[in-house]
Amino acid sequence: MSVLHRRLSVLFAALLTLFAAPLAAQPQQPEAKTVHARPAIWVVKDKDTTIYLFGTIHLLKPGIVWLEGPVKKAFDSADELVLEIADDADAATQVRIVQRAMDLQGPTLTSKLPEAMRPKFTELLTRYQLPSAVIDHMKPWFAAVTLTSAPLQKLGYDASQGVEAQLRKQAQAQGKTVLGLETTDEQIGFFENLSNEMQITLLTETINEQSDVEKTLARMIDAWSAGDPVRLAETLNKSMEEDKELEQKLLFDRNRRWADWIKARLEKPGTVFLAVGAGHLAGKGSVQEDLKALHIKAKRVDR
């Protein structure tokens, strides 16, 4: 699985969650056994401010219990929850996203694909019971996002079980302030600003890698559940030399901005629980590395 597609599934956790409502009925899944995960968490502190850093997985299967132990203790102590985006997935947001993600006047998406990819694309739409008349008028980046989520939903992964959804629910119950590092419009802009060539590359790689989606995500979740950012980074960063432009725009630049945000937030007293896609806190160019460059230490919290 290429860097480009692996990163999409974890870096844009918040944005993907907004698109996670299934486009077709999904099969009933068997009752899941309970698995207790122990994901990693880091903390940044000064004399009057504490900021916890926690990596998220946007879709999980029922039965994975992770909001306990040090993670729950850190979350409960926080005054604020900070996510990638704090926008509600309400009807108005969904309409705005679709308006920007569709291309109703231009050539069909199928005609934009290399000829060799068209049969594979059509076969995937049939397999996932996706409406071809709708998908064929999506912009390439949005079709890639849709195809990223569709097989996971059929495999029993659920946005309502994902980390962002559960944290938001708990924050609202506890009366915490919920803030976003970015907005939905900004995240859409990251994709819109990609060249058409890059968007087609994103879609073709997504199509080619469908057979590996389940195994790859399972490896990611296993590493995340075990609190093993090194193994998570190895899964994410294989073939790191590919897609440098996309990596810079979607990963490294954003991590650097978020490290700057953390530095500025340390000037204000309080306790913050910051939760972003797990890929941002693992491997080369992580938020922790950028904090280190700012002479700010992110310490791993003991489990």
Express each pLDDT in 91-100 by its tens digit. 677 777 888 8
Q: Report how far residue 285's alpha carbon sits from residue 249's, in angstroms, rounded to the nearest whole number.
A: 12
Look at the pTM and tell me if it is higher than 0.75: yes
Higher pLDDT, 246 or 199: 199
Per-residue buried b or exposed e for 264-302, using 16+ beta carbons within 10 Å of the residue's own CB: ebbeeeebbbbbbbbbbbbbebbbbbbbeeeebebeebe
* Top mean-pLDDT range of 20-24, 52-56, 157-161, 182-186: 52-56
pLDDT at position 9 is 47
277, pLDDT greater than 50: yes
CB 202 within 8 A of CB 186: no
Give me the half-sphere count of Cα atoms (radius 13 Å) on the Cβ side of residue 132.
12
Beta strands 299-300 and 64-65: pairing type?
A: unpaired
pLDDT at position 65 over 50: yes
